[in-house]
Amino acid sequence: MLWDYAATQARSLTGDSFGGLGRDYLALTLRAPIGPVAIITPWNFPFLIISQKLPFALAAGCSAVVKPSELTSVTTLLLGPILKDAGLPDGVVNILAGTGRVVGEALLAHPRTRMISFTGSTTVGKHAMRVGADCLKKVSLELGGKNAHIIMADAELDAALDAALHGAFLNAGQSCNQGGRLLVQSTIAATFTKRFVEAAKRIRVGDTLRDDVLMGPIINETQYRKIIGYIEAGKAEGANLKLGGTWREEDGGRFIDPTVFTEVEPSMKIAQEEIFGPVCTIQTFENLDDAFELANGTEYGLSAGIWTRDTSSAIRAARSLETGTVWINTYLDGPAELPFGGVGASGIGREVGRVGCEEFTDVKTVQLRSSGYEPRWIGKAL
């Protein structure tokens, strides 16, 4: 879907015309390809994320050098022969496998790349932006998230429950859009929390090639230890471990069970920092203003969701939540037409959709005078 939609943008990028500037004067703007793009993608959802970038860069007329994560390079490397078979000229897309410290750094700083498109951690994104500033390159960053998922008392609770579980534990929580902060209205908090915990207990963890398994392993030992560290920090700071907090290594994988904390204070590490694992915190609120204060109370601003039957509450959420995406009565939808990106520590720029294609362009102004030029300097003095 992403590739099909991006293909339509190759003939749909438009500028503006200015026909009222004078009798013999016409001006217009064109969107020109920004030039070779350095695209660096992360280890989670490797084929999806390259598909949110590369086809839109190509539709804009750019060439690209792509570096997938060294942990999940295969799907991106397989893309190369597919593009060649599709007729893409040699040299338009170049895929380089390697580490960030070597290949990634070379791409960021190379004088021939005119733009950096990076998805990954906020820490590395800040570094990419510093390199881009030093080289005066355009930088587009899709970074971390600490996304709030708000459940109002008037919500359709069965649907909200399913979406909350999906948002919290999809891909073992290894997602920038993870809905890992559940904010539940106080009048339904006890009931909804009980239902959420009971449902999370039934999530099978293991080899996801099995039909009865929903949650798979953690990517590597570094991330595994990081998540365990957050679980221990949550307990040490006084949060109530309501479910899980257990982990194991077996069958060649590292697994952490769905973990839920309640009685979580906004200042706690587990409420403020991106965990990138199957750890969900539940906080309660009294009214919408309280919910928005909690939701906006981190440095991140990637996405947020709210479940409510009240139109006024939905509109207020759309305007008040300080994120790049607001989901209302749904979560994790992502049509190819809609731009995606964050604010604050979640990044700058947008991917996907018409706006995502425009990210890979510069605006060129063209001014045309058919006649009537009047001398204004040397000719005026002659």
Q: Helix 288-295 and helix 311-320: axis angle, to 10°?
A: 30
Residues of the chain with confidence (pLDDT) below 70: 379-382
CB atoms within 10 A of CB 156: 12
CB atoms within 10 A of CB 28: 15
Residue 284 dihedral angles phi and psi, to the nearest 5°: -110, 155
Q: What is the separation of C-alpha 100 from the centre of its chain, rounded to a whole number of angstroms? A: 19
Q: Specify the pLDDT at position 381.
A: 63
Domains of the chain, start order: 2-143+346-369 (3.40.605.10), 148-328 (3.40.309.10)
Q: Can you spell out the DSSP letters for 117-169?
A: EEES-HHHHHHHHHHHHHHT-EEEEE-----EEEE-TTS-HHHHHHHHHHHHH
Q: Tell me the one-letter amino acid at 195.
A: R
Residues annotated as catalytic (active site), given as ranges: 142, 176
Give the pTM: 0.94
Q: Specify the pLDDT at position 375.
A: 82
Helix (H, G, I), strand (E, B) or coil at 343: strand
CA distances from 366 to 26, 127, 198, 256, 369 (A): 8, 36, 63, 58, 10
Q: Specify the pLDDT at position 154.
A: 98
**Residue 151 has which token pair?**
């459940």
**Residue 15 has which token pair?**
């500028």
**Contact predicate 95/46, CB 8 Å:** no
